[in-house]
Amino acid sequence: MKDYVYFLLGILLINSVLVSSQPTKIDISVDAISIKPEGNITFRVMLYDQSNNLVQDDVSVKISDPIRNIFFEKLVRTGENIVFPIGVNFTVGYWSIEASSNNIYTKTLFFVEKKEEADFNIINDKLIVKNIGNVPYQKTLQISIGDNDELRQMNIDVGGFVEFRLLAPEGLYRVRVTDGDKTLAIDNVALTGNIVGVVGLSGRKNILAAYPLVWLFLVIVIGMFILILIERIFKRGMVVKTIARKHAESSFKPTTMKKKSDVVKLGRATEAEHAISLRGTRQEAALIAVNVKNINDVKNSLILDDIERTLKPVAENKGLVYKTGGYVIGIFTPQTTKTFKNADTAIKVAESILDGLMKYNQTHSFKTNVGIGVHTGEIIVDDKGKFTSLGNTLALAKKLADISNQEIALSKEVRAKIGSEYRIERKSEQGFNFYTLSRIYNRSEHDKFLQGFLKRNFE
């Protein structure tokens, strides 16, 4: 009987050991949750038993892209570090690492970041632009032949390329290509042609380049048509103004009530125009992006006029005004302001606009939900107010306005240019670092301007 009891105890002991050593949980650890193309992600698969002890075994591992294409599938040993290289053209989005063993399964995710990049190559008189990133390449290129600059907007699919022919009177030239982040410069490039320019290798553009006289004739005809149209509009406008003046003189009555027509709007002379391809001067500009996020809720045009006149400090400080979608962009360049300290000007104007809108919210039933961003970057601008943003200058200003809420968001480029008179706070949202303006320490001159503006427009 005693032997039988010992036998049963032995069986129970062996069974408990076998059960406790059976895997019950699997886990995946990664060294990063977000990775740039051309980087590496390192992961390790861990297997545990009922007692939470590590179990050494082979497990099946599979790595898939966001649309479930498999890039890695093999057996790996638990506890070992596995290095998985991220290709330059790997799809943007969340990739998955799946591990399984004996009907135990787990999955973890990591994010492959966006890489918008192109490779520039010049062969004889051809410029080849190839997309080597993992998203469509949509940057603006500045192509310089000697002292002549030309801008081209790119739209190249992943893995695709475009070709351009470089033209100039016969000789050797320095050719420079840049998108603001990457630059290629080559000296002594042999070029030929009747004009200096860049021609896409499509049939239509080659025809225009081959027959410049035809192109010149078309320009002359279009120019004559525009001049005739302007003359007719001008004459019609003079007649309308004369009739309106006579009517106003005959029906004028003194009144203290402010009418809709009394509201001072932004002058036409300060309005800017965005152009995809432009010849002008390359300048570093300070941009203010104003986004009234609930502007679509406004039904009364008088409210729109009241909101718009809070933007007057842009024009008053010799800035250009560009309206796009729901944004109003203030642009300060050395060409218009006659100073290189435009980051300070932009910040003070931005605070004046924000204070004006907050003052408006205090005295009106409709409350504006506004975001303001300030950024500095390079643009091409001509003497007529037309401009082209280089790189992400305009897009980053808009992004700062989108993420700010009743405050002024500053880019790191602006932060690097301003002095100690500003008190700022660093913030981060969805991996994007920016700064917010808390106050201006030396406010004497700014307060004088601000009080005068508020008195003129809100009292």
CATH code for the domain defined by 118-213: 2.60.40
Residue listed under structure tokens 């790189």:
391
Scanning 192-283, the segments in alpha helix (DSSP H) are 203-210, 212-251
Rounded Cα distance between 348 and 388, Å, is: 24
Rounded Cα distance between 67 and 70, Å, is: 9
Tell me if residue 83 falls in helix, strand or coil.
Answer: strand
Among 329, 382, 363, CA closest to 458: 363
Please answer whether residues 35 and 86 qualify as being in contact, where contact means their C-beta atoms are separated by less than 8 angstroms. yes
| Helix/strand/coil percentages in the chain, nearest 5 | 30, 40, 30
Rounded Cα distance between 75 and 186, Å, is: 50
Rounded Cα distance between 358 and 367, Å, is: 9
Per-residue tokens: 402: 């989108």
Please answer whether residues 59 and 100 qualify as being in contact, where contact means their C-beta atoms are separated by less than 8 angstroms. yes
Supply the mean pLDDT for the chain. Answer: 80
**The domain made up of 264-458 is a member of CATH 3.40.50.970:** no
Residue 27, pLDDT score = 92
Rounded Cα distance between 331 and 326, Å, is: 16
Judge whether 22-112 and 264-458 match in fold: no
Pairing of strands 34-35, 104-112: parallel
Rounded Cα distance between 286 and 290, Å, is: 13
Rounded Cα distance between 65 and 24, Å, is: 28
Going by the DSSP 8-state scheme, the letter that residue 437 receives in this structure is E
Among 284, 260, 443, 433, CA closest to 351: 443
Residue 280, pLDDT score = 79
Please answer whether residues 125 and 189 qualify as being in contact, where contact means their C-beta atoms are separated by less than 8 angstroms. yes
Residue 302, pLDDT score = 65
Rounded Cα distance between 310 and 42, Å, is: 53
Residue 245, pLDDT score = 55
Going by the DSSP 8-state scheme, the letter that residue 420 receives in this structure is T
Residue 259, pLDDT score = 36
CATH of 22-112 given 3.60.20.10, 2.102.10.10, 2.60.40.1930, 1.10.3720.10: 2.60.40.1930
Residue 305, pLDDT score = 75
What are the angstrom distances between the C-alpha of 167 and each of 84, 171, 186, 195, 287?
46, 10, 15, 6, 34
Among 315, 402, 408, CA closest to 358: 408
What are the angstrom distances between the C-alpha of 417 and each of 116, 233, 314?
27, 46, 20
Q: What is the pTM of this model?
A: 0.41
Residue 42, pLDDT score = 95
Each residue's pLDDT expressed in tens, for the chain with a length of 459 residues: 556 655 556 565 555 544 456 888 999 999 998 999 989 999 999 999 888 888 899 999 999 999 899 999 999 999 999 999 999 889 999 999 999 988 899 999 999 999 999 999 999 889 999 999 989 999 999 999 988 988 989 999 988 999 999 999 989 999 999 998 899 999 999 998 887 888 886 433 334 444 566 678 888 989 888 988 888 777 666 655 555 555 444 443 333 333 333 333 444 446 777 776 567 788 899 999 998 888 777 666 666 777 777 778 888 888 888 888 778 899 999 888 888 888 888 888 888 888 888 888 888 888 888 899 999 999 888 887 788 888 888 889 999 989 988 899 999 998 888 877 788 888 888 788 898 987 665 545 445 544 554 455 444
Rounded Cα distance between 58 and 45, Å, is: 10
Q: Which helix (H) or strand (E) holds 109?
A: strand 104-112
Rounded Cα distance between 123 and 285, Å, is: 34
- How do the domains of the chain map onto residue ranges? 22-112, 118-213, 264-458
Tell me if residue 346 falls in helix, strand or coil.
Answer: helix
Residue 319, pLDDT score = 87
Per-residue tokens: 105: 């399964």
Per-residue tokens: 53: 């002890």
pLDDT tens digit sequence for 380-414: 888 877 888 888 888 899 999 899 888 999 999 98
Bridge partners (DSSP) of residue 127 are 122, 164
